[in-house]
Amino acid sequence: MYSYLNPLPPLMNGTLAKWAYVSLAALATLPGQFNRSAMEAPWATTDISDSRLSRTLEYLNTTDFVAYDQRFFDILGPNATIEHVQKLAFQSHEAPCYLKDTNQLFFTEWGPPGGENGTHSWQYLLDLDTNKLNKITTDPPTFNAHGCVVYNHSLYVVTDGHGDEQTGQLVKIDPRSLKQETLLNNYLVQPFGGFNDLEIDWDGNFYLTDSKSGWGREIVDFTPPTSPTVYFVERETFRIKPVHITDGNANGVAISPAGDILYVPDTGVSQYFPVAKTPYGKRELWAFDISKSGSVLSNKRLLSNPVSYFYDGVRVSRKGRIFCGAGDGVDVIDPESGFTLGTIRVGGGDNLAVSLTFGRNDLWIVGRGGVWHVRDIRERLDRDW
């Protein structure tokens, strides 16, 4: 038995996956010296004098699932497992979309050092029946895809743009024919800085996050025209307006199942020229109420700030749980209290969870190091649209 851990609930005895249940009460007072950077998971730190604690942290670094709250066991259940199904380069993989119709996973390799000086004119399509990975090029090609959502059997993808030729775009891709159609590439003649991600509500309206990451990683040459902004785009009319602006950075975005709350992490922590991250940069996960029109956000509140690193991709499950790519793993956050219920880990070391997509009782994580499949999750995750 390890110090600072609770016993696992009886239901979790004999699971295939390796679990731990952290005792927050036991951890509340630590003896001796300790020093964790906000950018590192608790178990990635070695600067500790208490040998019982270092033994526990070493153990935690070997687990698949770390619970902070009893509810994490209820969500994942005893049969959940995680498998590293595609071992790819230690660089960002992004824009995962689960395609139920064809049982495929769409995703991208994003930015430098891959592609041609960071530029990617292709994406991945993983056949989930055979685990065969294919590189695809849409017609016409989609450059520097960064975010993806499936809506009404189509892939909706946002891009950073491309060099000095193409600014950020919202495109629609037919996953069977790979025909691509541009839906939006400007805000009344103003170019975008470079899209990072998107969300689509029940009615098909868009929330697009315009960020400075593509500029900061030198995959587009344009100077960002404004500070990072979340735009609302009404599907029927293409009425468009900013709904949130930050002097940090825009990144993931996700809507609640009832369509009344928008979750937006700020990733001002990422600095450019030179590329750097410090614990003093913005990492907050904000929640907003959404107006009936969809186009006004109000009641901004700090829902959560990651235990470590920063939140990148965000998805909200059928029951309203918030799943965020958070470096060491995917954090699962309770939408009411904002507490982190637990972490789905991707193996530690250089592996890094960037974004995720839901199947019915599965989820796929993409990030530095490839693709992970979490299966046999007890709670249904996919939403009705």
Residue 62 structure tokens: 């070997």
Q: Which of 122, 348, 362, 383 binds ligand NAG (CB under 6 A)?
A: 348
Q: Which of 56, 61, 180, 355 binds ligand NAG (CB under 6 A)?
A: 61
Scanning residues 355 to 384, which ones bind ligand NAG (CB under 6 A)?
378
Q: Of 117 and 293, which CB lies nearer to ligand NAG in the complex structure?
A: 117
Does position 291 interact with ligand NAG (CB under 6 A)? The reply is no
Number of residues near ligand NAG (by CB under 6 A): 19
Q: Which of 296, 301, 349, 380 binds ligand NAG (CB under 6 A)?
A: 349
Does position 112 interact with ligand NAG (CB under 6 A)? The reply is no
Query: Quick check: 85 and 105 in contact, CB under 8 A?
Result: no
Q: Of 80 and 262, which CB lies nearer to ligand NAG in the complex structure?
A: 80
Q: Shortest approach of ligand NAG to residue 299 CB, angstroms? A: 29
Q: Shortest approach of ligand NAG to residue 365 CB, angstroms? A: 16
Q: Which of 18, 27, 50, 77 binds ligand NAG (CB under 6 A)?
A: 77
Expressed in angstroms, the distance from the first to the final Cα of the chain is 45
Q: Of 204 and 225, which CB lies nearer to ligand NAG in the complex structure?
A: 204
Q: Shortest approach of ligand NAG to residue 276 CB, angstroms? A: 15
Scanning residues 132 to 171, which ones bind ligand NAG (CB under 6 A)?
152
Task: Give the span between the Cα atoms of 120 and 110, in whole angstroms.
Answer: 7
Stretch that binds ligand NAG, among 8-16, 68-76, 188-196, 218-226 (CB under 6 A): 8-16
Does position 79 interact with ligand NAG (CB under 6 A)? The reply is yes
Which residues sit at the interface with ligand NAG, rule CB under 6 A? 7, 10, 13-14, 35, 44, 46, 61, 77-79, 116-117, 152, 204, 347-349, 378
